[in-house]
Amino acid sequence: MIGASAVSVRLGGRDVVADVGLDVHRGEWLAIIGPNGAGKSTLLKAVMGLVAHRGEVTIDSRPAAALKPRARARLVAYAPQSPALPPDMSVFDYALLGRTPYIPYLGRESGHDRRVAASVLDRLDLTELGTRRVGELSGGERQRVVLARALAQEAPVLLLDEPTTALDLGHQQQVLELVDRLRRADGLTVVTTLHDLTVAGLYADSLLLMAEGRAVAAGRPAQVLTEALVGRHFDAQVKIERGPDGRPVVHLVRGGP
């Protein structure tokens, strides 16, 4: 559904992303993991076409570079790590922004656009917040509102940059379960960066481990989350066990490295 081959991004004279490829099939969830500064967010931006890059990105087997911005926005929705939330805007208006790729440049939203925004808010239990100002929301509510905007885009591919940062345990679970549910219900293809390795291994079908701009490992969670790989690339001493569902659980070892 979404693929990238030999993608490189040069920022400030440094290869932030070097020669990385990925391939995610329809309905799959790929989590990009790696230490700080590995280039995870930049890779996501390159896939979204937000930074200049070399290499090719394909969306639905079409080269992304050939797509007009609006056409691309109908295929891929993106939620950044720290979204700029206009404090005075109402939650409903904010969700409605997700309909932008369907509204003519100087036109106004149709009844259908309003219904889509309303139904997305409904699915995310945000209907009651519809008239509230975005600036008044709590951290967990904000994350859901940003997700609502991305979902209102009705794009088959969802790119989420650290969707759970700054969320407590319960809210993390709430957001991830929501994404997982929507993925199963609508066949969405999901690509996220995630800093919590256990969480990444728990929800994603496959992992891409990046370090210093390069892809150093890719595959099923059990193949990527090994003590050797994590230890080397995160410079950490960890113990990895199988969780109750067979997925890897990463523990820090006290006293290391």
Partner 1 sequence: MTTQARPSRARPAWVASALGVLAVSMVAGLLDGAADISPWQVVLQAVDWLPFAHVDSGLAPVEQGLLYELRLPRVLVAAVVGGLLAMAGAGYQGVFRNPLADPYLLGAAAGAGLAATAVIVLLPSAEGSVPIAAFAGAVGGVFLAYTLGNTAGRAGGTATLVLAGVAVTSFLTAIQTFVQQFKVEELQRIYAWILGDVGGGWDQLWLVLPYAAVSAVLLLVHGRMLDVLSVGDEEATSLGVRASRVRFTVLLAASLATASAVAVSGLIGFVGIVVPHVVRRLAGGSYRSVLPLSMIGGAAFLVLADLVARTVLAPAELPIGVVTMFVGAPFFVGVLRMTRRAVT
The first and second tokens of residue 31, run together, are 């989590």
Nearest CB to partner 1, comparing residues 127 and 174:
127
Q: CA 48 to CA 60: how far, in whole Å?
A: 13
Q: How far is the CB of 75 from partner 1 (least distance, A)?
A: 10
DSSP for 183-196, please give it.
HHHH--EEEEE-S-
- Token readout for 140 is 């967990």
Say if strands 157-161 and 54-59 run parallel, antiparallel, or are unpaired.
unpaired
CB of 255 to partner 1, least distance (A): 40
CA distance 24 to 233: 23
Q: Quote the least distance from Cβ 9 to partner 1, whole Å.
A: 14
Residue 10 is a binding residue for partner 1 (CB under 8 A): no
Instruction: Please say whether the beta carbons of 53 and 92 come within 8 A.
Output: no
Alpha carbon 140 to chain centroid, angstroms: 16
Nearest to 177 by CA among 134, 154, 143: 143
Per CB under 8 A, contacts with partner 1 among 127-146 are: 127, 130-131, 133, 135
Which residue matches tokens 């309303």? 118
Three-state DSSP at 162 gives coil
Site of tokens 């940062």: 165
Listed residue (29, 9, 34) closest to 19, CA to CA:
9
Q: Which is nearer to partner 1, 115 or 242 (CB)?
A: 115
Minimum CB distance to partner 1, residue 100 (Å): 4
Quick note: the x/- pattern for partner 1 over 74-103, rule CB under 8 A, is: x-xxx-x--xxxxxxxxxxxx-xxx-xx-x
| 64 lies in the binding site for partner 1 (CB under 8 A) | no
Q: Which of 25, 26, 62, 115 binds partner 1 (CB under 8 A)?
A: 115
Residue number with CB closer to partner 1 (37 or 135) = 135
Asked whether position 123 contacts partner 1 by CB under 8 A, the answer is no
- Closest distance between partner 1 and the C-beta of residue 116, in Å? 12
Is 57 near partner 1 (CB under 8 A)?
A: no
Contact footprint for partner 1 (CB under 8 A):
45, 48-50, 68-74, 76-78, 80, 83-94, 96-98, 100-101, 103, 105-106, 108-109, 114-115, 118, 121-122, 127, 130-131, 133, 135, 153
